[in-house]
Amino acid sequence: MRMTAAVMYEQGLPAPFAQSRPFRIEEVELEGPGEGEVLVEIRGAGLCHSDLSVVEGLRKRPLPIVGGHEGAGIVREVGRGVTECQPGDHVAMAAVAGCGKCRTCVSGRPGLCQAVSGARNEGLLATGARRLRLLDGGRLNHYSGISVYAQYAVVVPQALVKLPKDVPFDVGALFGCAVVTGAGAVFNSAKVRQGASVAVIGLGGVGLTAVMAAREAGASKIIGIDVLPGKFDLARAVGATDCVDARDPHVVQQVLDLTDGGVDFAFEVSGNLSALEMAQKITVRGGEVVGVGLGKATATFTVAHLPWVAEEKVLRGSMMGGGVPQDDIPRYADLYLRGRLPVDRLRSDHIGFDQLNEGFDLLHGGGVVRQILLPHGA
């Protein structure tokens, strides 16, 4: 079928993106669904910081590519052999679909599956197929096996999680990345316990979800840290007990004072190396630094050897929530519907394709949390 999509031909174009236009809005061809594939009509897609880092070229992707890895929609058609879903189902789309068979998938960690990451890095679906095509017949790649900056997507059923129909699409879109990543970091990776103290560095969609999840887990102190104090009101409204300006030269001391020597868990969500350094300094002896934000592919950081051992600090990576989206997302959707994970608060604006590049300027400026692209208009 022919559909409208946002195609990236080049990474690393400079801001302002409204001028350099990393995404070209154009008609493309979508084929399928083939065997073991599903056609989804996209009803909402989030603009995430990792999309921004792909725009900026921090991690290389095969080009041209249709962007977007966080979305929700309606199943319209299933290919042969698909039993997991049927036309009419409402679904969130998760980029961490595993193969379901390898060692890491069987152990409940599909986000670490290497069998599908190869195909994903080559711009293919997990089936090895490429269903997107440019109108002139040229090759067009899938992003994260999903590509939701489009009116439709063909994906494997492992990338879909059924949503209750009372979750609106513009909220459901957030479950596949922001919510699963932020809540999973707290519930699955760190296993934050009742009464623990928590800091969250970077109050975007993922960070604010981590704040909500920490509150749900019963954390006694939840300190939100960001370079933009404009985000603090929202952070407090969803569970932060304290907020600290990351640019304050005494930020580390402030957190130590607030927590009698440091937090039990410091979540680094911004993907920034100096923030990761700060996370190590604000963590109490025996505490945990949880890295959630993805950095540059070549970046490295140092850990002071002696204190790491002698203070029994844990450095933990958490990739997209470290769980199984098919198990976790229904639980988070239930928490949302009961008002305990108010992720609808993350929505900033609804935008159309014509505002997508500008939307990345706003995300780059940091003043917005989650803008939602509506590929079929309002």
Of the candidates 272, 277, 286, which has an alpha carbon nearest to the alpha carbon of residue 196? 286
- How near is the Cβ of 254 to Zn ion at its closest, in Å? 29
Nearer to Zn ion, 203 or 255 (CB): 203
Could you say which of 25, 102, 258, 374 contacts Zn ion (CB under 5 A)? 102
Nearer to Zn ion, 184 or 287 (CB): 184
Residues 113-142 that bind Zn ion (CB under 5 A): 113, 115
Rounded to 10°, the helix 273-281/251-258 angle is 40
| CA–CA distances in Å: residue 238 to residues 71, 146, 183, 333, 369 | 23, 30, 13, 16, 13
Part of the chain binding Zn ion (CB under 5 A), chosen from 174-182, 282-290, 296-304, 362-370: 174-182
- How near is the Cβ of 14 to Zn ion at its closest, in Å? 22
- How near is the Cβ of 241 to Zn ion at its closest, in Å? 26
**Do the beta carbons of residue 111 and residue 69 sit within 8 Å?**
no
- What is the three-class DSSP state of 60? coil
| CA–CA distances in Å: residue 158 to residues 14, 303, 310, 320, 364 | 35, 37, 43, 15, 31
Q: Which helix (H) or strand (E) holds 362?
A: helix 356-365
Nearer to Zn ion, 42 or 113 (CB): 113
- How near is the Cβ of 105 to Zn ion at its closest, in Å? 3
Could you say which of 32, 71, 98, 262 contacts Zn ion (CB under 5 A)? 98
Both tokens assigned to 277: 């350094």
Part of the chain binding Zn ion (CB under 5 A), chosen from 50-58, 142-150, 209-217, 226-234: 50-58
Nearer to Zn ion, 113 or 246 (CB): 113
**Do the beta carbons of residue 154 and residue 32 sit within 8 Å?**
yes
Nearer to Zn ion, 101 or 305 (CB): 101
Judging by beta carbons within 10 Å of its beta carbon (0-12, 13-18, 19+), is residue 309 exposed, middle or buried? exposed
Cβ-Cβ contacts under 8 Å for 193 (sequence gap 6 or more): 217, 218
- DSSP for 154-172, written as a single string: EE-GGGEEE--TTS-HHHH
- How near is the Cβ of 50 to Zn ion at its closest, in Å? 4
- How near is the Cβ of 311 to Zn ion at its closest, in Å? 32
**48 binding Zn ion? (CB under 5 A):** yes
Part of the chain binding Zn ion (CB under 5 A), chosen from 2-10, 95-103, 187-195, 340-348: 95-103
**50 binding Zn ion? (CB under 5 A):** yes
Size of the site for Zn ion (CB under 5 A): 9
Could you say which of 99, 125, 180, 234 contacts Zn ion (CB under 5 A)? 99
Nearer to Zn ion, 283 or 348 (CB): 348
**Backbone phi, psi, residue 319, to 5°:** -95, 110
**96 binding Zn ion? (CB under 5 A):** no
Nearer to Zn ion, 114 or 253 (CB): 114
Part of the chain binding Zn ion (CB under 5 A), chosen from 27-35, 45-53, 136-144, 352-360: 45-53
**105 binding Zn ion? (CB under 5 A):** yes
**246 binding Zn ion? (CB under 5 A):** no
Distance CA 283, CA 261 (A): 8
| CA–CA distances in Å: residue 78 to residues 81, 83, 137, 143 | 8, 8, 25, 20
**Do the beta carbons of residue 131 and residue 71 sit within 8 Å?**
no
Could you say which of 47, 160, 177, 223 contacts Zn ion (CB under 5 A)? 177
* Interaction mask 5-44, Zn ion, x per CB under 5 A: ----------------------------------------
Both tokens assigned to 5: 């999509």
- How near is the Cβ of 111 to Zn ion at its closest, in Å? 10
Nearer to Zn ion, 2 or 101 (CB): 101
Both tokens assigned to 291: 């890295």
**Do the beta carbons of residue 8 and residue 134 sit within 8 Å?**
no
| Interface contacts to Zn ion, rule CB under 5 A | 48, 50, 98-99, 102, 105, 113, 115, 177
